[in-house]
Amino acid sequence: MHPVLIFRHSATEGPGYFASFLDRHAIPWQLVRVDAGDPVPEHLNSVSGLCLMGGPMSVNDDLPWIPRELELIRQAVAAGTPVIGHCLGGQLMAKALGGSVGANPVKEIGWGELMVTDPDAARPWLGDVDAPLPGFHWHGETFTLPEGARRILKSAWCENQAYVLDDRHIGMQCHVEMTPELVASWCENGAAEIAASTSPAVQQPAAMLADVDTRTDQLHTLADKIYSRWIQGLSR
């Protein structure tokens, strides 16, 4: 089986639980460390899927790798190669496919509930849901939906938390890949950002780290559903 290509845009925002999920299902993957200068491939070549992780930058920044990733996303969608985006990754997907990215009404950092917006579109990815779902957030921008996409999740502070396209691609504003270690690392590295924020949707590190093992276990239950659906589209 060809590997899943995972794009890391920041040294602190690795694939986390997504990589663990792929390993558990014996799906090979290859990390492209954009933050360390790894080149973005010009063509898909032999990959079974694309995964895009988060990062502190904006998709609207003038960075040389952004147009290359946008083009690769377009190639993948045109070829039917599954694409999954986490936070910045979901924004990159939206921009590549004709959506736009701009400021969210408020910065959203920490744990927060997700609500299903389109039960029919969400069912293949989430099953039948009759209660809010767990989510983790760290963003100040958000995306509009690209043409043909269906929104499946929202939060109290952000209308577009996840969308699906062609039954095989999913872009998320939220983070479902979190592990206790990632939460702790982000709280440490983002302490100044948290302290400077006046947003009502920003939690303090102590609140994010409280009962973090149980919370990430609950988050992984959601991630398992999303990732299980996504890998169905991978070429074997």
Spatial contact of 213 and 184, defined as CB atoms under 8 Å apart: no
Output the pLDDT for position 235.
Answer: 76
* pLDDT beyond 80 at 208: yes
Instruction: Give Dmax over CA atoms of the chain in angstroms.
Output: 48
**Residues forming a β-bridge with 111:** 136
**Secondary structure element (H or E) that encloses residue 23, with its range:** helix 17-24
Going by DSSP bridges, is the β-strand pair 83-86/169-172 parallel, antiparallel, or unpaired?
parallel
Point out the catalytic residue in the list 9, 139, 169, 175: 175
In tens, the pLDDT along 12-54 reads 999 999 999 999 999 999 999 999 999 999 999 889 999 999 9
174 is catalytic: no
175 is catalytic: yes
Point out the catalytic residue in the list 87, 158, 174, 187: 87
Q: How many residues does the chain have?
A: 236
CATH superfamily, domain 4-231, is: Class I glutamine amidotransferase (GATase) domain (3.40.50.880)
Spatial contact of 217 and 181, defined as CB atoms under 8 Å apart: no
**Closest to 170 measured CA to CA, from 228, 85, 55:** 85
Q: Torsion over CA of 69, 88, 147 and 228, rounded to 10 degrees?
A: 90
Output the pLDDT for position 114.
Answer: 98
177 is catalytic: yes
Q: What is the pTM (predicted TM-score) of this model? A: 0.97
CA 136, CA 46: separation in Å to the nearest integer? Answer: 32
Point out the catalytic residue in the list 51, 177, 187, 220: 177
What residue segments make up the domains of the chain, in order of their start? Answer: 4-231
In tens, the pLDDT along 155-184 reads 999 999 999 999 999 999 999 999 999 999
Output the pLDDT for position 58.
Answer: 98
